[in-house]
A and B are shown apart, each in its own frame.
Chain A
Amino acid sequence: MLNIFKIAVRNLMRYKRRTLLTASLVAIGVVFVLVFISVSGSFKNMMIGQITDSFLGHIQIHKKGYVASIDSLPLTMNLGQKAFEKVEKAINEIPDIEAYSKRIKFGGMFSNFVETTNVRLNGVYPEDEVKTVPLFLSRVKEGGKDIKPGEILVPELLAKGMKVKVGDTVVVIATNKDGSVNGKQFQVGGILESVTGPGGRDGYIHIEDAMEILRMDTMEISEIAIRLRDFDELHSAFDRLRDKLSNELNKQGGPAFEVHTWEKLSPFYNIARMIDIMTFFVKLMLIAIVLISIMNVMVMAVYERIREIGTIAAIGTLPGKIVAMFLIEGFSLGFFGVVIGNILGVAVISVLSVAKLTFNFGRQKGLLLSPSINLQDILVISIIVITISVIASLQPAYKASRMNPIDALRHV
């Protein structure tokens, strides 16, 4: 076997310039794909991270039907104590879950004693919220990095419009699910940066304050946000959670809960999908480049060596061996291109990550792009390119093996 490789490499070296050119073409394709994958991948991961870690969480659980009517933040669709205990039991049975946070979501009026406007609020336990969405506190632009009882974190657009500053006193008025109106004074504890996506412009208060405004005797939860230890386990954790909760039925006999991953909750998922589709097409282009360039070289290689093929066939080389010789030649050419491409690609990616590229996402400015590539991507690309190289050599190799030695030997 080793010696077929030696013959293949020697034959490739016979036309150094052509081999180098073709290998370079393959290498450039590989570099392009690797850089694209790493940059778009890091962009995607950064976005997903921003969305899930700053407010959404990885998975959310609601009462069945809540997400469909989330625009009106219906208090009638909260989970009572018993329902919540069932959810908590399911959560505790899944070790992949790192943290979870209960939220009471409601809409109300926000007044600075001069003007009044609408506000959407989340009542949360600050410690649980921070564990579940670790980037949350980084959104607090001004004021203390905490949600103390009696304080409110005001979304920045609202703060601007209502001209409130940290330390100001404001009033929140809300109607509870029985229809009675209640108000409570808060001190502005901080100004909260907006993020793209539903719920990205909500205010935050302590959960006990929310209960007080809404006159809840026992806690009723609108939403449970969940953070996983390992984001890659998203779908398996989701499946387990859904399976555990799907047995729970409401009084009408339908499912009591609904479980969603961030993908179903954020419009950014479609952008993430677009990136995946673009990556797929970039890979497809690489395949086309490799296929055409290697096939071209191998067709020429066979044509140039017709008499040699006639000679080796005449002295008894079996057709299968001749096929193998040309396949290995195509393999070696692809392999050569892949090695150069991987070295260059990793070099370019390292340069890009040292160069500290930044970009803006919605209202978030200067997010640092840190392109990186994992070994698995490199391996997958390499295997694809090498496989395509061999496939591209199949037809020429087969043609070589089927040559009639007499005709081939007579060829000039």
Chain B
Amino acid sequence: MSLVTADNLSKAYAKGELKVEALKNLNFEIEPASFVSFVGPSGSGKTTLLNLIGCLDKPTSGVLTVDDTDVSGLNTRMAAAFRGRKIGFIFQDFNLIPVLTVYENVGYPLLMVRNTPSPERKRRILTLLEAVGMAEKKNKYPDQISGGQKQRVAVARALVTNPKLVLADEPTANLDHKTAYMVIDIMKKMKNELGTTFIFSTHDQKIVGEAEIIYPLEDGELTKGRG
């Protein structure tokens, strides 16, 4: 059974009089525990697609199922709860909470989204911080660590609730090459260890090679799939 299924998925934005078709009749299936990348130039629809899969937005037409749920039927609150249960997010700009330490940032979803009890929370946070190699910096605040380190913390935060799916929209766009590879490597390692599905987008052709499955996106259309 696929984790994500898109069936004639379309998304159009009304830009005043103009209608922008950001995604046109996409069809794809993503299996559990896969490492998938949507690749395309700026404006090709990557963010739009990841927003749909991440239940942050709704398709204009077509069907999108995530973990057997037709996500277009979810209201705002249900969508938030669904994201909290099933999906981890990694952002291009890291988006750590500046008033929280590395440790607290990783713990945030457990505390504020999942209400995980304290001992278990502590165990999870430390495990994830070890895994991304940030345990030593756990008491630092985001403005005291580098971009690569921030993104590793963000990876730990996305994984701490043990979600089925992690979405990363251009996670390496703000990182230099070496750091970018390292972050992708950590994601891959976590996928292998935890069996989490990773879907990330990028316009960087060199990073693309790291993905196991690549969907090229151009002007809102999938040109060809490679598995």
Q: Which residues of A contact B (CB under 8 A)?
A: 3-4, 7, 10-11, 13-14, 307-308, 310-319, 321, 405-406, 409
Contact = CB atoms under 8 A, between A and B. Distances in A.
Contacts of B76: 319
A50 to B, nearest CB: 57
B81 A316 contact: yes
Secondary structure dominating the interface of B: helix
Contacts of A319: 76-77, 80
The 7 closest A-B pairs by CB, nearest first: A316-B84, A10-B99, A316-B83, A311-B95, A316-B113, A406-B56, A405-B56
A4 B82 CA distance: 22
A314 B99 contact: no
Contact of B84 (A3, A4, A315, A409): A315
B215 interface: no
A13 B100 CA distance: 12
Interface residues of B, number: 29
Interface of B: 51, 54, 56-57, 76-77, 80-85, 87-89, 91, 93, 95, 97-100, 108-109, 111-113, 157-158
Given A405-B56, A406-B51, A406-B56, A315 B99 contact: no
Contacts, number: 69
Given A318-B77, A318-B81, A318-B84, A312 B108 contact: yes
| Interface hub of A13, A310, A318, A319 (most chain B Cβ within 10 A) | A318
Contact of B113 (A3, A7, A14, A317): A317
B91 A312 contact: no
A311 to B, nearest CB: 4
Given A311-B97, A315-B109, A316-B81, 17 more contacts: A3-B111, A3-B112, A7-B97, A11-B99, A13-B99, A308-B97, A311-B91, A312-B108, A312-B112, A313-B80, A314-B89, A316-B87, A316-B113, A317-B80, A318-B80, A318-B81, A406-B51
A14 B99 contact: yes
A10 to B, nearest CB: 4
A315 B57 contact: no
A10 B142 CA distance: 14
